Amino acid sequence: MKSWDEVHRLNSTGVMFGCKYAIKLMKEKGGSIVNVSSRSGVVGIPGAVAYAWSKAAIRNHTKSVALHCAENGYKIRFNSVHPATIMTPMWDAMLGEGEQRQQIIEDVEFGIPLGHFGEPIDVVYGILYLASNESKYVTGTELTIDGGILAGSEAKPRK
């Protein structure tokens, strides 16, 4: 229960407070808030239930707050990004070291339609778009940055 609470306090409650105080500061002039969720907030993850649940909460919270701001005439847009398979230190424990690491990377990449892990900069560019005026008519949406994983199935035969 302690780890569940910690994950939710950081992911869900942290985002809620961030949105709450951002609205107070931004409701007169407007702007854009981009919350970071995860592909895990869109699909079930049996080995990380608390994480997936907290990321799903961010997804729904973002949509709800976007509608709240629109209904109240606040010119604040709220959107979320949903990255997956982005090569960050978060993967280190799952990938291991040495030859084993390389084999696991290849196995994971086999299930990614684009064939490789993403880089943090790929997420940054998505956030930059949603935060910019180029997305001035975008609110309550989610941008999946996953190399095409959610577009199809990971169950494909090896070539």
Indicate which residues carry an active-site annotation: 51
What is the three-state SS of 96-141?
Answer: CCHHHHHHHHHHHHHCCCCCCCECHHHHHHHHHHHHCHHHCCCCCC
Q: What is the pTM of this model?
A: 0.90
Q: Stretch 124-149: mean pLDDT, rounded?
A: 97
Q: Is the pLDDT of residue 155 over 60?
A: no
Predicted pLDDT at 50: 93
pLDDT value at position 46? 87
What is the average pLDDT value for the chain, to the nearest integer? 93
The residue length of the chain stands at 159
Please tell me the predicted confidence (pLDDT) of residue 99. Answer: 86
Q: What is the pLDDT of residue 156?
A: 52
The region of weakest confidence among 42-46, 142-146, 151-155 is: 151-155
Quick one: pLDDT band at residue 139, thresholds 50, 70, 90? very high
pLDDT digits (tens, 9 = 90+) for 5-30: 999 999 999 999 999 999 999 999 99
